[in-house]
C-alpha cells in the first residue's frame, strides 16, 4: 500500500451574527517522503549514485542502496508507483512545488545523486559536474523532474523540489558547481549545482521496463562542454512497474505471444 504524506485536513469556523459556519479544508496531498516508492519503504528504499573524482582526474560513480556503498552493486530495477495514487496538489502558491505534473503517471524518486567522500575533491571554478542520459530504452516516454530531499530536510527542503523538467532531449543536467555552492553557503541549497543528495522524480504514463545509461562528466559550468582532462564515468539504472502493474504487462506480453503462435 502506498504511503502518502499528506497534510491534515482542518475545519475553518467563522462566526457571523451568532451563527457558526464551518467548512472542511481540503488536505493537500504530496508524494511519499523520504524519496522512495511508497510500497518499497523498508524493501529497497533509496538508491544512490555516489560520485567522486580520484587523483587521476577520473570521475567515479558507485551504485548501490543506502548512503555509503563499498562499490558497484547489482543494479536492481527500481519500481514505479502506479497511477492509483490520490491527486497531488499544486503548492506553488505557498512556496512549494506544483506536484500536479506527476498526476496520472507511474512515478519513482528512489535514485539520488550525491558526493562520495564529500569535501575531499572538487572541480575548478568555471567547471561543473554534469549528468546526462546517453541512451534511454522503454515502452514509452520517461520524464524526469528536478527534485530535492525530504520535506523535513534542512539542506534541500520541500520547496527545493522545483519539478522543472530535466534531461529533455538528452540534455545534460548540472549536478555540482563549486561557484554555485560558494554563493549559497547556507541551507537551503539550490537543487541544481549543490552536489549534495538530490532525488529527481521519474514519471511515465506507459508502464514497463525502462533503462537509462548515464554519463557523468566534468564540463564547462555554463555550456556543459566536456573537459577532456577528466575521464567520464558511465552507469546504467533500470525501472520496472510495481508488482501488480508488472503482472498486467507480463500477461499482455504473453497474450501477444500466444496470438502470434496461433496466427502461424
Residue 138 pLDDT: 94
The domains of the chain are located at 31-262
Percent of the chain with pLDDT over 70: 70
List, in order, residues 6 or more apart from 6 with CB less than 8 Å away.
Answer: 27, 28, 29, 30, 86
The three grid cell numbers given for residue 140, joined into one nine-digit string = 514509452
Residue 18 near residue 84, CB atoms below 8 Å: no
Q: Which of 28-32, 33-37, 170-174 has the lowest mean pLDDT?
A: 33-37
Q: What is the mean pLDDT of residues 227-243?
A: 89
Q: What is the mean pLDDT of residues 21-45?
A: 54
Q: What is the CA radius of gyration of the chain?
A: 21
Q: Is 245 helix (H, G, I), strand (E, B) or coil?
A: helix
Q: What is the pLDDT of residues 63-117, one digit of tens each?
A: 877 654 445 554 556 778 776 677 889 988 888 889 999 998 888 888 889 999 8
Burial 158-185 (b: 16+ CB within 10 A, else e): bbbbbbbebbeeeebbbbbbbebbeeee
Distance (Å, whole) CA 197 – CA 49: 9
List, in order, residues 6 or more apart from 234 with CB less than 8 Å away.
Answer: 134, 213, 214, 215, 216
Q: Is 64 helix (H, G, I), strand (E, B) or coil?
A: strand
Exposure on the CB side of residue 161, measured as CA atoms within 13 A:
32
The three grid cell numbers given for residue 44, joined into one nine-digit string = 529497497
List, in order, residues 6 or more apart from 258 with CB less than 8 Å away.
Answer: none
Distance (Å, whole) CA 50 – CA 176: 13
Residue 40 per-residue DSSP state: G
pLDDT band at 10; cut points 50, 70, 90: very low
Amino acid at each position: 500500500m502506498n504511503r502518502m504524506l499528506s497534510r491534515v485536513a482542518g475545519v475553518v469556523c467563522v462566526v457571523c451574527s451568532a451563527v457558526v459556519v464551518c467548512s472542511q479544508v481540503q488536505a493537500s496531498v504530496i508524494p511519499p517522503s523520504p524519496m522512495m516508492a511508497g510500497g518499497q519503504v523498508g524493501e529497497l528504499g533509496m538508491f544512490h549514485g555516489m560520485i567522486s573524482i580520484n587523483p587521476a582526474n577520473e570521475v567515479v560513480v558507485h551504485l548501490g542502496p543506502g548512503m555509503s556503498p563499498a562499490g558497484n552493486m547489482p543494479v536492481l530495477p527500481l519500481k514505479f508507483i502506479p497511477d492509483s495514487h490520490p491527486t497531488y496538489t499544486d503548492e506553488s502558491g505557498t512556496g512549494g512545488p506544483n506536484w500536479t505534473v506527476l498526476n496520472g503517471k507511474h512515478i519513482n524518486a528512489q535514485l539520488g545523486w550525491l558526493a562520495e567522500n564529500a569535501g575531499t575533491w572538487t572541480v575548478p571554478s568555471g567547471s561543473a559536474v554534469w549528468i546526462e542520459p546517453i541512451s534511454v530504452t522503454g515502452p514509452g516516454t520517461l520524464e524526469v523532474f528536478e527534485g530535492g530531499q525530504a520535506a523535513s530536510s534542512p539542506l534541500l527542503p520541500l520547496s527545493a523540489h522545483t519539478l522543472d523538467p530535466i534531461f529533455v532531449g538528452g540534455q545534460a543536467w548540472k549536478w555540482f558547481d563549486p561557484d554555485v555552492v560558494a554563493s549559497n553557503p547556507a541551507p537551503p541549497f539550490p537543487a541544481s549545482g549543490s552536489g549534495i543528495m538530490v532525488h529527481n522524480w521519474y514519471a511515465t504514463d506507459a508502464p514497463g521496463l525502462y533503462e537509462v545509461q548515464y554519463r557523468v562528466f566534468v564540463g564547462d559550468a555554463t555550456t556543459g562542454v566536456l573537459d577532456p582532462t577528466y575521464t567520464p564515468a558511465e552507469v546504467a539504472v533500470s525501472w520496472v512497474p510495481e508488482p501488480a502493474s508488472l503482472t498486467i504487462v507480463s500477461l499482455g506480453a504473453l497474450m501477444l505471444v500466444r496470438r502470434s503462435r496461433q496466427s502461424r
